[in-house]
Structure 1
Amino acid sequence: EPVIRQAIANFERSEGNGQAVALAYNDLGTLLGRKGDYAGAERAILRSLEIGRSQDDSTVLVPALTNLGRVLNEKGEFTRADSAYKRALSLAERTGPPFHYLFLYQVLKAYGMDRGLLGLFVEADSLISRSLVIQQKMFPPGHPEIAGTIGLLGLARAEQGKVPEADSLLRRSLAMLEQSLGPDHPVVGAALANLAMVVIRKDDFPQAERLLRSALANNEKALGPEHPEIAGVLMTLSWVRWKRGDTAEATSLLRRAIIMLDHTVGPEHLQTKAAKRALTELR
């Protein structure tokens, strides 16, 4: 973070509010979002958008709007996120070479994730499938970007009741990510947790627990013990422990998730409220 902030200061001194400054602010927003500072991330991205709009620069606007959609989605502001994604997609479709396909697949992928979180799984499947087709033209087989998108497609298929197909896609995604990024990468942790969600649908709770504990260990090592992404794994693991008859550990895991969410995304976030409801139901 200090390196990016120093780069912003240097760019501002040398070129004022130019493209490099705008892109650096977007990078800062990405970094802050990964750290769970969604309010700071939004401020940085909005500054990037302000500069991009002043210059009508789609190479700034498309990635910044896509990034804004992701951050707003994490904050639970789904209507604003949808608006940001639609504006990004419209701009990406009108952007010429060499950025057309790059921007288009990124927006389609992120937008598909957003649709899935809203329960619009058929639409999510369509957007993610379009993104995957573009990626397979751009990247070599086994590329982690392709692997991640295959995993997202698996989740969309699972939510449509296509569990065997989803299981196959998610295992393929996990194997590709482990080979390309290594087992300790946080993306692998997310893939483990996603596969666990599908395994749960098959009522295989022992295997789901093994996957979730592996995901938890990965995330704690890669992201630190207080990152909000860990809370989602804790909540799912809590439910699995409850299904296996261990109410005490289920309660402990949920309490840890709630403390983490209160400190990071805040008490009004949808995930925080969901965790508190789950804890009430356990009592």
Structure 2
Amino acid sequence: MVGDRRARPEDGLRWSRIADVHLSRIGDAAGVRTANYLNILAAVHQTQGEYAKARELYERALSILEKSLGPEHPDVATSLNNLAAVHRAQGDYAKARELHERALSIKEKSLGPEHPAVAASLNNLAIVHHAQGEYAKARELYERALSIWEKSLGPEHPRVAMNLNNLAGVHSAQGNYAKARELYERALSIREKSLGPEHPRLAYPLAGLAEVDLAEGRPKDAVPRAERAVALRDGGKAPPELLAEARFTLAQALWAAGRDRPRALDLARKARDAYRKAGKGNEKELAEVEAWLAEREAAK
């Protein structure tokens, strides 16, 4: 999507307003064209953390595509994945899994099991299993997606970097920090080469590496990585909960390193407030931040 894909939300909002004008003129009768405009609007709202509005627009786009193209068309599968991502962000993992599984089935039938689009659905489904703590299944799906993308797109493609980052997260969650570090570093290298050093998507592997540093008792190494992740996500460049994640990682790193603890508390409070505002789907993260803050504020 224009603007959003390039991490320029202000451009995305401008294009969404243009899309709104077109929608008012052509209505739903334009079929696929209307669905494309709806998807643009939905993606902008999704980037801003406005999930209820994004879901409404994605559902409307999906309905139009199913009527225009049939329920088994690859474009329908893409629309299903979009809608699933919103359900996932809101913590409705059962619905997200259902939609991702339907999308995967459509793509495997229409495109073949080794198509890059199939890898995208495998990756998306893995994210749901990952979020639910089903690490073995998530790892299996991530690795299958990685194999397809490396063969079809090459080992230095940005999609490979995305998958490596996700796979690293599973290894980190399982305590396999050496492997997680290796994968995060490879993901960071690919993204720096393909996107440049200032792209917000570099924040994913940077935040992951900072978390590994913390887990291994190296908070001084974690601080600069977390600082960079926060800077890359700040200023509306990422959904609020992703900025909150980076801020809390930085808060933990600063505190553990014995540096600027008042700032660490302030960062954690900002993360807490963002998670509270984001609502459903962030309960686990909110509880973690609140517990961390309560322990340190009580000791003051």
Give the TM-score, by structure 1 length: 0.88
Shift of 1:4: 3.8
Q: CA deviation at 1:208?
A: 1.0
Q: What corresponds to 1:3 in structure 2?
A: 15
Greater length-normalized contact order (CA 8 Å, ≥ 6 residues apart): 2
1:135 aligns with 149
Per the alignment, residue 189 of structure 2 pairs with: 175
Contact 1:105–1:130 (8 Å) recurs in 2: yes
**Which residue among 218, 221, 225 is the counterpart of 1:207?**
221
How far apart are 1:281 and its partner, in Å? 3.2
- 1:111 equivalent in alignment to 2:125: yes
CA change 1:268–1:76 in 2 (3 A) is closer
Deviation at 1:167, TM superposition (A): 0.9
1:237 alignment counterpart:
250
> Do residues 74 (structure 1) and 86 (structure 2) align?
no
Q: Which of 27, 38, 41 is equivalent to 1:25?
A: 38
- Per-residue Cα deviation, 1:166-209 (whole angstroms, up to 9, x for no partner): 11111111011111100111110122101112222211111111
Partner of 2:105: 90
User: For 1:122, which of 136, 144, 165 is the aligned residue?
Assistant: 136
Of the candidates 44, 47, 50, which is equivalent to residue 34 of structure 1?
47
Q: 2:26 aligns with which of 13, 24, 28?
A: 13
Partner residue, 2:273: 259
Task: Tell me, yes or no, if structure 1 residue 249 matches structure 2 residue 259.
Answer: no
1:197 to 2:211 alignment: yes
Local SS of the residue matching 2:111: coil
**Residue matched to 2:80:** 65
Distance 1:239 1:182 in 2: 27
Which amino acid letter does the alignment assign opposite residue 37 of structure 1?
Answer: E
How far apart are 1:7 and its partner, in Å?
A: 3.6
C-alpha contact (below 8 Å) 2:16/2:44 kept by paired residues: no
What is the alpha-carbon distance in structure 1 between the residues aligned to residue 115 and residue 281 of structure 2? 37
Gaps of 5+ in 1: none
Q: How many residues align?
A: 280
1:230/1:14 CA distance change after superposition, 3 Å: closer
Contact 2:126 2:139 in 1 (8 A): yes
Asked if the contact 1:8–1:21 (Cα under 8 Å) also holds between the matched residues in 2, the reply is no
Q: Deviations over 1:103-149 (max 9, x none)?
A: 21111111112211111111111111111111112213311111121
Counterpart residue type for residue 230 of structure 1:
L
Structure 1, 268-277 or 111-120: larger mean CA deviation:
268-277
Percent identity of equivalent pairs: 25
Query: In the alignment, is the contact (CA less than 8 A) between 1:184 and 1:222 conserved in 2?
Result: no
Note closer, same or farther for the CA distance 1:118–1:181 as it changes in structure 2 (3 Å cut).
Answer: same
Q: 1:52 to 1:100 in 2, by over 3 A?
A: farther
Please list, as runs of the form range in 1=range in 2, the aligned pairs for 1:213-224 lying within 5 A after superposition: 213-220=227-234, 223=237
> Once structures 1 and 2 are overlaid, which stretch shifts more, 240-249 or 47-56?
240-249
Q: 1:51 to 1:100 in 2, by over 3 A?
A: farther
Q: Deviations over 1:14-71 (max 9, x none)?
A: 8814122223322322222112111111111111111122232523321111112211
What is the CA distance between 1:90 and its match in structure 2?
1.8
- 2:21, 2:108 → 1: CA distance? 33
Which whole-Å CA distance do the structure 1 matches of 2:61 and 2:193 have between them? Answer: 35
Please tell me the residue identity of whatever aligns with 1:174.
L
Change (3 A) 1:268 1:192: closer
Which amino acid is the alignment partner of residue 25 of structure 1? Answer: L
Task: Report deviation, 1:279.
Answer: 2.6
Cα distance in 2 for residues equivalent to 1:19 and 1:102: 23
What does the per-residue CA deviation read over 1:64-88, in whole Å, with 9 as the maximum and x for residues that have no partner? 1111221111112222212221221
